Amino acid sequence: MKPDLVRLLCCPSCADDLTLATPGTVDGQVHEGALVCRGCTASYPIVRGIPRFVESDGYVGSFSYEWNRWNRVQLDVANGRTESEDTFIEKTGLRPEDLRGKLVLDVGCGAGRFLDIASRWGARVVGIDYSFAVEASQTNVGSRDNVDVLQADVFRLPFKPEIFDVIFSIGVLHHTRDTREAFLRLPPLLKNGGTIAVWLYYYTDPVYRAASDFWRAIFSRVPNGLAYAWCWLLVTLFAPLYTSALMKKAPFWHLPRVLPVNTHEDFRWRVLDTFDWWTPRYQDKDCSPTRVLGWFQEAGLRDAEILDYPTAMRARRDDAGQLPVLHDSLPALEGARYVVFGAGAGGEHALRTLEAFGLAAQVVAVCDNAPAKAGTPFHGHTIRPFASLAREDYDFVIIASLPGRAAIARQLNDAGLVERRQFGTVEFIADLALPVTRLLAA
């Protein structure tokens, strides 16, 4: 650790200041020693340059195994890719100018893939992890002048309040015993005006969710080496199959839902991510945007931005309450006039979804790009080409066709419509826009 780190720290038990005792310093780094509380006299060891605020890795032993076995697979500077940097931007909405010169906290740093990004972007960054993955982070990036790594529990964080400019946590909080409580521990550490960004699991497929919980109930209890061997075998046998044309046909496309296997081009990455999915003790897969926005509001955060990758969100601390609740206002969908674009199975699903929300009567048209469908009946509507609709006759277009989703989105953009304001998917309606609108109105 860097000697100046101590100014950020406090005792996780009594919140009093810590002092650096018997430091073993080499080249400006404290490699051995202890942090002693001035109040309750608790002592926290520094081992191999890492302050240790926990005595073990508790319920996250699989992550200790995972990130020390595959400690450089996802590190951009080691694999020559930009995949981790791209992921960081996509799931936090943060860019170099947002971090340069800032004090940043990475909650759940693992092997340091995002510590690497933030530090190369010019941040002074502190990473914490409950697991012994901190050993991998320290090896990979801990020697950098602007990086510190700590082993700590998110429920007992050793930081003074209101010190960080930015806090981010990518794919971590849903692996704790209580995702909401873990999240609520973080905003008090933000400076007024500071930003927090999180990415959390949100999977709506009931078969996929049930299969995941079933397999984890087994493999979270077996030795990590055995789980690794099983994941290696799964990847070897099924990853090539899952990328074949056969998997696009029924009933084969159901197989990945009940036997999840990663299909990344890098074999080691495949095994890592498959192991990551099968073995955690806790895995909250129900972090919907609406639920997470509720936590933001509970923490007093404002200017909440719902990013394109579900569920990736960020917000700012605003003690004066001057910022809007949402960064971008969502369309008023309760009284909107809808067009359902896609007159197949997807269109039927969209109409059922709107009916479940009590909005079926607000559908003014059903469109499809197939000329043969024009003029034919579809659940009380006559199918029309989209070009035949007058813009003043509708408010929002629901893209219902799954195979044609990308092409229809381009078509609507070309027509001058704005995504998430004037068109979106049925999932956008069901999982985000309407529930969020109702939450904000409550």
Q: Are residues 303 and 261 in the same domain?
A: no
- DSSP 8-state assignment for residue 401: -
Q: Which two tokens stand for residue 237?
A: 């046998």
Report which residue type is found at 72.
R
3-class state of residue 112 by DSSP: coil
Task: Evaluate whether residue 323 is within a structural domain.
Answer: no
Q: Are residues 72 and 189 in the same domain?
A: yes
316 neighbors 303 (Cβ within 8 angstroms): yes
Rounded CA-CA distance 87/104 in Å is: 18
Q: Are residues 92 and 168 in the same domain?
A: yes
Q: Which two tokens stand for residue 109?
A: 């740093």
370: CB partners within 8 A, 6+ apart: 343
Task: Evaluate whether residue 329 is within a structural domain.
Answer: no
Output the pLDDT for position 438. Answer: 64
The continuous run of DSSP H or E covering 65 comes out as: helix 61-69
Task: Evaluate whether residue 386 is within a structural domain.
Answer: yes
Task: Evaluate whether residue 325 is within a structural domain.
Answer: no
Predicted confidence pLDDT, tens digits, the chain (442 residues): 999 999 999 999 999 999 999 777 777 889 999 999 999 999 999 999 999 999 999 999 999 999 999 999 999 999 999 999 999 999 999 999 999 999 999 999 999 999 999 999 999 999 999 999 999 999 999 999 999 999 999 999 999 999 999 999 999 999 999 999 999 999 999 999 999 999 999 987 888 999 999 999 999 999 999 999 999 999 999 999 998 888 777 788 889 989 999 999 999 999 999 999 999 999 999 998 888 988 998 999 999 888 877 789 999 999 999 998 888 766 667 778 999 999 998 999 899 988 887 888 999 999 999 999 999 999 999 999 999 999 999 999 999 987 788 899 999 999 999 887 899 888 777 766 666 666 666 6
Q: How many domains does the chain have?
A: 4
130 neighbors 56 (Cβ within 8 angstroms): no
Q: What angle do CA 327, 332, 334 make, to 5 degrees?
A: 140
Rounded CA-CA distance 210/216 in Å is: 10
196: CB partners within 8 A, 6+ apart: 166, 167, 168, 186, 187, 190, 301, 314, 315, 316, 317
Task: Evaluate whether residue 379 is within a structural domain.
Answer: yes
334 neighbors 382 (Cβ within 8 angstroms): no
Task: Evaluate whether residue 331 is within a structural domain.
Answer: no
Q: Are residues 198 and 232 in the same domain?
A: no
3-class state of residue 132 by DSSP: coil
> Could you list the residue range(s) of the whole structural domain that residue 393 is in?
338-441
Q: Are residues 223 and 359 in the same domain?
A: no
CB environment 156-180: b (16+ within 10 A), e (fewer): ebbbbeebbbbbbbbbbbbbbeebe
Q: Are residues 45 and 63 in the same domain?
A: no
Q: Are residues 31 and 61 in the same domain?
A: no
CATH number at residue 162: 3.40.50.150
Neighbouring-strand partners of residue 314: 197, 305
3-class state of residue 199 by DSSP: strand
Q: Are residues 406 and 295 in the same domain?
A: no
Q: Are residues 181 and 293 in the same domain?
A: yes
Task: Evaluate whether residue 283 is within a structural domain.
Answer: no
Q: Which two tokens stand for residue 131?
A: 């697991």
Q: What angle do CA 51, 40, 21 make, to 5 degrees?
A: 40
Q: Are residues 70 and 164 in the same domain?
A: yes
Output the pLDDT for position 425. Answer: 85
Instruction: Report the candidate in 105, 102, 197 with the shortest Cα–Cα distance to residue 149.
Output: 105
Output the pLDDT for position 133. Answer: 98
Task: Evaluate whether residue 328 is within a structural domain.
Answer: no
Q: Are residues 299 and 270 in the same domain?
A: no
CATH number at residue 412: 3.40.50.720
Q: Are strands 103-107 and 50-51 parallel, antiparallel or unpaired?
A: unpaired
Rounded CA-CA distance 425/381 in Å is: 20
Rounded CA-CA distance 103/121 in Å is: 12
Rounded CA-CA distance 212/220 in Å is: 11
Q: Which two tokens stand for residue 405?
A: 């989703």
Task: Count other Cβ atoms within 10 Å, centred on residue 251.
Answer: 6
Q: Are residues 170 and 309 in the same domain?
A: yes
3-class state of residue 140 by DSSP: helix
